[in-house]
Structure 1
Amino acid sequence: MMKPETLELLVTRTMPFGKYQGRIIADLPGDYLAWFARKGFPAGELGGLLALMHEVDHNGLGDLLVPLRQKHRR
């Protein structure tokens, strides 16, 4: 079962490397996330967050993150 805190990480953690270094994981483009899905997600927490964001994006569930984004903009 996923913890709510994990969803919060999607709107607070940034991509640590690559073309989108420094961008919030929730703001990564869908095609970039799909590329990772095809090639393989990195190990560890980052890979888990990217895989989760891919699922959110792929299934059109981005609106779930709106309240979390608002919470962390304060």
Structure 2
Amino acid sequence: MQAEDLQRLVIYPMPYGKYQGRMLADLPGHYLGWFAREGFPRGELGRLLALMYEIDHNNLRDLLLPLRRRSET
């Protein structure tokens, strides 16, 4: 994981599927869990989804709050 990956979670939109357009940091836990069971996509998207899954699974979403505030300004 790179430090920039956390910032990308709050600005990177899901490119396809039911939650298309929603920021990766805003994807529901059950959707991230589905990817964890079925397999994450290849490349950067898969890496970021796996990171978001770990954050959600360990109840650490609050870590992203300062990054959200920074991206809104």
TM-score tier, shorter chain, comes to over 0.9
Gapped regions of structure 1 (runs ≥ 5):
none
Q: What is the one-letter code of the residue matched to 1:17?
A: Y
State the distance in 2 between where 1:6 and 1:32 align: 19
TM-score for both structures, normalised by structure 1: 0.97
Gapped regions of structure 2 (runs ≥ 5):
none
Alignment of 1:30-49 (within 5 A): 30-49=29-48
State the distance in 2 between where 1:7 and 1:69 align: 10
Which residue number corresponds to residue 7 of structure 1?
6
State the distance in 2 between where 1:3 and 1:41 align: 18
- Residues paired across the two proteins, number: 73
Alignment of 1:1-74 (within 5 A): 2-74=1-73
TM-score for both structures, normalised by structure 2: 0.98
RMSD: 0.5
Q: Kindly report structure 1 stretches of 4+ aligned residues shifted beyond 2 Å.
A: none
Q: What is the Cα deviation at residue 4 of structure 1? A: 1.3
* Identical positions, percent: 64
State the distance in 2 between where 1:4 and 1:39 align: 27
